[in-house]
Structure 1
């Protein structure tokens, strides 16, 4: 029964992820949009750590080598609700967005290997920006769409304490951008539209090592490498004149051009290193350090080469969990997993302000709870994050955001076992 339920929810939520539009950030205007970090709600609640973490009953998206430790079939689904406040030097605006962040199925293969397959959003575009600083000229920028990632990962032990893994994924999606320009005392407006289809593959390699120290302490180390890849961007771009009614209805008139568009987005090598220390089923403290080269866009996107550029990016995260008493009978709250973490990120995005480029940085504080379900290995995970991105300096935009994350992790040790009737 539970297998049919899990498979049914998997199909339904797959359709939901493909259909959703899940960004309200002005910074999704740049490139392929707002990038989504591949982490579970459990990992996000610890600042996004996990490259060195091993867990028998939770999935780990940061390092495919962690699949070697799966001891139960695991279905995971996670989503988030974001409350966003956008600030300029003399104004502010609020908004929110709700989205599914991942669905995934993981299975143990024997006692020394595991396999996962799933779907996640890779990036999202969702902005509407009005530039009316010039009294004689108003320009409206709009964009929507995004990309998704379907993936499969395998991990296994090759030596006592040492596991390796690999992940293959396919990235796909559509992004639509437009620029509407209206001049004072001119009857017709002009509109530029760009529609792109994004496709490409991506590969990740990883390794983890665990060593037991004195007093049942465990030392964990890990690394993962997402290899450089080129995503193709094919579509059309066109420009035409139009008339605008008082209600905002657009009526196209003369077409200035309509042509095909081809380009590439280079996603460079991303390296993640980390270590952790802890006692199994009791506590864990870990650190992640991430590095990535500068992204490159070739002949695509409305702002290409004019208002932004990319530089190398990096991210530092620290976090962990604590379980008072995992097998407590007298107290439910002693079996709860308490999580917390911090992250500091230089996104690599530089936005042009007058004659200079200003770096966009991100910071987040995270806490969360893992709530066990009665008489099961499964649990509900909830996480909260307060963060800031960008700055109001140099006429830029600063985002204050609050994320509420929720996930369900269902485990079944008997997934592959046949029912016996005596």
Structure 2
């Protein structure tokens, strides 16, 4: 009963938090916002690699890993994000706290496992202001956005031939994103507000293959291939135009609003085109003691397309990401030292995100560190920190120096198994 109460309580908290803004980045202005989920806390502490699989941890980026699951595993994680935003002549800071994921993995036999859960996919949370005084009349513009897309997933993994595992994951995407543009012209009493809202829904899929073999005694090889095919989800759209005026407190108050009929030009229902991606991972290690691995991912982000909204200075190219990381456990079954049973993790990533602003690619580089703290039996409290830089101030763009502190619980238990009393 206590287990059920905890699960329902956490699920309620997550359902509330997913409705909140999860980004403080101006880069969430582009596309459908910032990519939120980058792996569990264990994955992120190792630079985001997804090649590693074992019997007691969830790897939500590699469904084939479920074929190795031997204990029922409940995972929940959150993230604190602090960002320093810098242009050529200005600097600001912002921060937020968000939940990252909630998931449950259940072994269905010696070689079969399943998982289901909920996690954010993208988030939008920006407010950009600018003054254009190049013309005869100066023009003030403000851009605001909020919302995001979430994923509810169901996955299966099956291990066969003692070395190979295959997996498939189905996501149901849902969420709402609202973008606002407010403009005022000097010496004109009223400004204009254009508000675009899109409600997204639809499925996408992921497939993976995992291979593990013993190279020699106490040395194992792991490798993985993960493929996400291109897909498209439905976008139900609405648009309104309002005349607005600014009051003494600085708020924009609509005085007249007109809903735009989008059916005439076929924009009431469009598609969001999600690009395909594929990754390759390879690593070696000693069971329960250490592991070092690397992932290389290619994303066909040049295929991304939003039939309803496009941005003036944003475009897309194919993206790529290289991650390397690993862990070390001094003595996993030590009875004399707690810290010898702690898992120490480290990693780094370097990526070409696929987004281009003013035709200049946006890069992201970061390093991460983490600890897996044993709690009870095979359960762990995982904490980690990641810091890095995205973008640059070149050609009037924005540079982000970020710090992420993430924490998760990985709780393990045996379900559906009867204990025999002799």
Structure 1 and Structure 2 fold alike (TM over 0.5): yes
Q: Paired residue for 1:340, among 313, 333, 346?
A: 346
Q: Residue 63 of structure 1 aligns with which residue? A: 62
Counting only pairs closer than 5 Å after superposition, residues 369-408 of structure 1 correspond to structure 2 as: 369-373=371-375, 375-408=376-409
Check whether the contact 1:287–1:319 (CA below 8 A) recurs between aligned residues. Answer: yes
Q: Residue 208 of structure 1 aligns with which residue? A: 210
Q: Which moved more, 1:235-244 or 1:2-11?
A: 2-11
Q: Paired residue for 1:290, among 282, 286, 297?
A: 297
TM-score w.r.t. length of structure 2 = 0.94
Give the deviation of 1:158 after TM superposition: 2.1
Give the deviation of 1:20 after TM superposition: 2.3
Q: After superposition, what is the alpha-carbon deviation per residue over 1:264-318, rounded to whole angstroms, capped at 9, x for unaligned?
A: 22111110110100000000000000011124224322xx152211110110000
Give the deviation of 1:177 after TM superposition: 0.5
Q: After superposition, what is the alpha-carbon deviation per residue over 1:114-142, rounded to whole angstroms, capped at 9, x for unaligned?
A: 11000010000000000114271110000
- Whether 1:312 aligns to 2:333 is no
Counting only pairs closer than 5 Å after superposition, residues 321-340 of structure 1 correspond to structure 2 as: 321-340=327-346
Secondary structure at 1:13 match in 2: helix
Check whether the contact 1:38–1:61 (CA below 8 A) recurs between aligned residues. Answer: no
- Cα distance in 2 for partners of 1:212, 1:116 equals 27
- Cα distance in 2 for partners of 1:112, 1:163 equals 9
- Whether 1:275 aligns to 2:276 is no
- Cα distance in 1 for partners of 2:334, 2:128 equals 53
- Cα distance in 1 for partners of 2:14, 2:87 equals 37
Give the deviation of 1:421 after TM superposition: 8.6
- Cα distance in 1 for partners of 2:40, 2:15 equals 19
- Cα distance in 2 for partners of 1:77, 1:267 equals 26
Counting only pairs closer than 5 Å after superposition, residues 223-262 of structure 1 correspond to structure 2 as: 223-255=225-257, 258-260=260-262, 261-262=268-269
Give the deviation of 1:336 after TM superposition: 0.2
Secondary structure at 1:287 match in 2: strand
Give the deviation of 1:182 after TM superposition: 1.1
Go from structure 1 to structure 2 and tell me whether the alpha carbon gap of 1:418 and 1:2 turns closer, same or farther (over 3 Å shift): farther
- Cα distance in 2 for partners of 1:299, 1:216 equals 53
Go from structure 1 to structure 2 and tell me whether the alpha carbon gap of 1:199 and 1:137 turns closer, same or farther (over 3 Å shift): same
Q: Residue 265 of structure 2 aligns with which residue? A: none
Check whether the contact 1:189–1:243 (CA below 8 A) recurs between aligned residues. Answer: yes
Q: Paired residue for 2:307, among 282, 293, 299?
A: 299
Q: Which moved more, 1:126-135 or 1:140-149?
A: 126-135
Secondary structure at 1:43 match in 2: helix
Q: After superposition, what is the alpha-carbon deviation per residue over 1:233-270, rounded to whole angstroms, capped at 9, x for unaligned?
A: 11211212122212234332344662233322211111
Q: Residue 12 of structure 2 aligns with which residue? A: 12
Q: Residue 95 of structure 1 aligns with which residue? A: 94
- Cα distance in 1 for partners of 2:286, 2:140 equals 60
Q: Residue 357 of structure 2 aligns with which residue? A: 351
Which consecutive unaligned segments of at least 5 residues does structure 2 have? 263-267
Give the deviation of 1:99 after TM superposition: 0.4
- Whether 1:44 aligns to 2:49 is no
Aligned residues: 413
Secondary structure at 1:19 match in 2: coil
- Cα distance in 2 for partners of 1:369, 1:419 equals 33
TM-score w.r.t. length of structure 1 = 0.94
Q: Which moved more, 1:237-246 or 1:256-265?
A: 256-265
Q: CA RMSD, aligned part only?
A: 1.6
Q: Residue 221 of structure 1 aligns with which residue? A: 223
Give the deviation of 1:38 after TM superposition: 4.0
Q: Residue 52 of structure 2 aligns with which residue? A: 53
Go from structure 1 to structure 2 and tell me whether the alpha carbon gap of 1:38 and 1:117 turns closer, same or farther (over 3 Å shift): farther
Give the deviation of 1:416 after TM superposition: 1.4
Q: Residue 157 of structure 2 aligns with which residue? A: 155
Q: Residue 139 of structure 1 aligns with which residue? A: 141
Go from structure 1 to structure 2 and tell me whether the alpha carbon gap of 1:111 and 1:13 turns closer, same or farther (over 3 Å shift): farther
Q: Residue 164 of structure 1 aligns with which residue? A: 166
- Cα distance in 1 for partners of 2:217, 2:228 equals 36
Check whether the contact 1:123–1:148 (CA below 8 A) recurs between aligned residues. Answer: yes
- Cα distance in 1 for partners of 2:337, 2:327 equals 18
Q: After superposition, what is the alpha-carbon deviation per residue over 1:24-83, rounded to whole angstroms, capped at 9, x for unaligned?
A: 000000011001244100000000002x21211110011100001111111000000001
Counting only pairs closer than 5 Å after superposition, residues 404-415 of structure 1 correspond to structure 2 as: 404-413=405-414, 415=415
Give the deviation of 1:204 after TM superposition: 0.7
